[in-house]
Structure 1
C-alpha cells in the first residue's frame, strides 16, 4: 500500500502566507506602547516618584550625561544696582561779596587755593581752604594800630576795619573767636584780634608764600603786612584788612558748576555752584534694601566700556525720598536714599566725567558649605529638591544660598566629593 506524502508550503519553497489583516498593526501598537512605558518609568525615576526616603532606590538605569562633584567652598551673594558717575551734587558757593558780578569762570573749571572764583565790582573773590566760613573782617584793630602802626605799611591805617568794642572788658581765651574790634583787656595788646578763623586764614596765607609772621590765632601787625603783599599781587588796595566778601573757604580745590546769575546781575547766594574735583558715583538705593550701604564698604563699579574699578561707600543719606514722577498703580515709587561712592584711583576712570554705571556689592556670604551647580538640582514629586547620583539614585537635599551659578546643599545623604548628574 503506497504512502501518501504531504508537503507543506514551506517544504515546497513557497512563500509563507501573509498574516491575517490587522496583525502587523497590532504588533506596531504593542511596540510603541512598550516604548511609552519605558519612557514613563524613566520620568518617574527622575522625579523621585514612588518613595519618600532621603535616599531613593534605583528606579531607572543610569543615563548618559555629565557628572560633577559636590564641592566645599564659600558662596558669596553679589547684587548689582544702577548708579551715576559724576562729581557729586552741586552746592552753592558761600559768596558774601555784595555788588555787581563782573566776571564768572567757565563751567567745569578747577579752582585751587589762592585763585579767583569770580569778580564782584571787579574785585576778586579768592578761594582758600578751611572748614570755618568767613564770618567777619580780619585786620588790625584801633588799639593795635596805635601801638604797632609806625612803619611804611601804616599809610593805610585809616582804612582798617573795626573799632574798639566798648562793651567787652574781659580778655578772649586762645582759640575763641572774638568779634572784630574786641579789646584784649587791661595789660594786654589792646584790640588784638584772636580766633580760629585768624589761624585758618594765616595758614592759607603762609601756604601761598606770604610769610614773615607767626601762624597762630592772633592777627598782628606782621600779619597785616603779609596781607598787604597779598593784596598787591591781586591788584587790590593795600589795606591790610581782609573783607568778609574777599574770601570763600572750601575743604579743598573745587570744580565750578553752573552759574545762577548773568554778568551784570547782583551777586546773590546762588551766584555759583561747585563740586569737588574727584569723580564719584551716586546710587539711589532702595531704602528697604540698603543694608549693604555702610560707610567704608567696598564695591565694584562697572564702567560703560566694560572695565571695572574699585570704590568705597563714603556717605549714606539719612532721609528717604520717593523719585519724582515715578510710581506704580495705586501708589508712589519705593523710597530711596542717596549713597555716595568714592573712587580712590581716579586715573582708572579715564576721561569719563559723567556716565551711567553699575555698582556691585556683596550681600550674604556662606563659608565652608557644600555646593553644586544650580543645574544639578531636580524637583522631587513629594516636594523640595534632590540630586541624582552617578548610579541613578536620587537623594533629597535642602537648599541654601544661591550665588554665582551654584547653590548650597545639605542633607544626611550628601557628602563632599560625591558625583551627581546634570539632568539632560
Structure 2
C-alpha cells in the first residue's frame, strides 16, 4: 500500500511534502465482517479520519517502504453480476421419513431384507411361514381384510396402488374410487399371482403392508429369521429413498428462511449441489446451547448427493438475490470518520483513490457486498488486507 501524504499549503511545486512535515503511513485497515455486525470504525488517526475522496501516491521508494511496513495488502476485482444473501449452516444429509413395518401375519419369519436394501412398491418386504408380505403405497394402515363390496380410504389407496403397478388401467379401474369393485378383485388376483400368494381376490392383513412411500429403504431390522413373527410387532424400519438435508436452525433466524429459498449444499467430498428449502419448522426445540427449529431441504439433483446417510454437510441458504450489481470483498470496505464507507481503488497508472460507496446486499457466505459509487465499475482493482 502507498503512504498517504498530508496536504499542505506549503507543499513544493512538485507535490511533495515540505521538509518539516512528516509522511504519515496509513494505519492498518480493519475488516468489516457482515451486514448484521458492521460497526462504526475510525480508520485513521486524528479527527480527520478518512476523507470523502482523495488521491495519493508513493512519491519515493522510502514512502513505499513505509507503506509496506505499515500493513500488508493485496488487490481484488470489482465484479458485476448476481449476488445472494446467504447464511452458512451445518446440516445432516439423509433420507426422508422413518417408517416402522408392523407385521400382522402369524407364523415364523422365514426371510428378511438387509439394512440398506430398497424394496419397491408391489414387492415382498419379508416372508412369514414362506408367504410374502407385500409393500403397497398408502397412508392408511391395512387394518382389515379387503374384499368386494367394501368402501373406504383403505380401498381407495388399494385401487390407486393396483393401477400404479399396472394390474389395471385407469379405464378399467378408477384410482380415485373408494369402492372395491369387480375390477378391483380382478386386479388383486393379478397381484397375488405375480408375487406368489394364493389367488383369492381379497387382500388380507397378513398379505400386505401400506406405507406412504414408493419404495422403502431398510434402516433397521428388528426381527430374526426363524423367530416368531409376532402379530402386531415391528419387524423392521425404513425410510423413503428420497434424499433430504436437515438443518437445526437457531430459532432467532426462523423468520429469515422460508420454503422455496434456494440453497447450496457442500458435501463431505467437497463438491457442491443445489437444493431448495421444502419446510421450516414452527415449533422450537431446546438444545444444549440454544433453541432451534428444523429446516428441511430437498436436493435438486438427488444423484449428486450419493448414498451417504446421516452425513454432515454445509448448507448456504439463499434468502435474497439481486441481479446485475457491482460487488467487492467485505474486507475492502473502509469506514469513513463522518459515517459510511469507501473503497481504495487502484488505477492502471498505480494511483490510489478513495471512492465513497453505498452498501447493499451482503453475502456472508462468500464474504462479498453489493456496492454503488461514483465512477466505480467492474474490473477495477480495490485494495484488501493481505494474508
TM-score by length of 1: 0.62
1:139 to 2:164 alignment = no
Q: Give the superposition deviation at 1:116.
A: 0.9
Match of 1:253 in 2: 215
Contact in 2 for aligned 1:378/1:423 (Cα 8 Å) = no
Which has a greater percent of strand?
A: 2
Which has a greater percent of helix?
A: 1
Aligned residues between the structures: 329
Match of 1:270 in 2: 234
Q: How does 1:191-270 map to 2 (within 5 A)?
A: 192-208=149-165, 210=167, 214-216=172-174, 217=177, 218-221=179-182, 223-224=184-185, 226-228=187-189, 230-249=191-210, 250-263=212-225, 264-265=227-228, 266-270=230-234
Contact in 1 for aligned 2:50/2:337 (Cα 8 Å) = no
Q: Give the superposition deviation at 1:242.
A: 1.3
- The structure number with the bigger radius of gyration is 1
- Where structure 1 has 5 or more consecutive residues not aligned to the other structure, the ranges are 1-33, 141-191, 328-332
SS of 2:234 mapped into structure 1 = coil
| Worse overlay, 394-403 or 90-99 | 394-403
Query: For residues 68 and 318 of structure 1, do their structure 2 counterparts lie closer, same or farther at Cα, with a shift above 3 Å needed?
Result: closer
| Worse overlay, 88-97 or 104-113 | 88-97
Q: Give the superposition deviation at 1:244.
A: 2.5
Structure 2 CA distance for aligned equivalents of residues 337 and 304 of structure 1? 23
Q: Aligned-residue CA RMSD in angstroms?
A: 4.2
Q: Give the superposition deviation at 1:252.
A: 0.9
Contact in 2 for aligned 1:387/1:420 (Cα 8 Å) = no
Q: How does 1:278-297 map to 2 (within 5 A)?
A: 278-297=242-261
Contact in 2 for aligned 1:400/1:408 (Cα 8 Å) = yes
1:341 to 2:297 alignment = yes
1:47 to 2:44 alignment = yes
Structure 1 CA distance for aligned equivalents of residues 197 and 79 of structure 2? 76
Contact in 2 for aligned 1:42/1:60 (Cα 8 Å) = no
Structure 2 CA distance for aligned equivalents of residues 127 and 221 of structure 1? 22
Match of 2:374 in 1: 415
Contact in 2 for aligned 1:41/1:60 (Cα 8 Å) = no
Correspondence for 1:38 among 14, 17, 22: 22
Contact in 2 for aligned 1:257/1:275 (Cα 8 Å) = yes
Contact in 2 for aligned 1:376/1:420 (Cα 8 Å) = no
Q: How does 1:12-411 map to 2 (within 5 A)?
A: 38-40=22-24, 47=44, 49-51=46-48, 55=52, 75-98=83-106, 100-140=108-148, 192-208=149-165, 210=167, 214-216=172-174, 217=177, 218-221=179-182, 223-224=184-185, 226-228=187-189, 230-249=191-210, 250-263=212-225, 264-265=227-228, 266-323=230-287, 327=288, 333-365=289-321, 371-380=327-336, 385-387=341-343, 399=359, 401-403=361-363, 404-408=366-370
- Where structure 2 has 5 or more consecutive residues not aligned to the other structure, the ranges are 1-17, 29-41, 68-73
Contact in 1 for aligned 2:123/2:195 (Cα 8 Å) = no
Q: Give the superposition deviation at 1:126.
A: 0.7
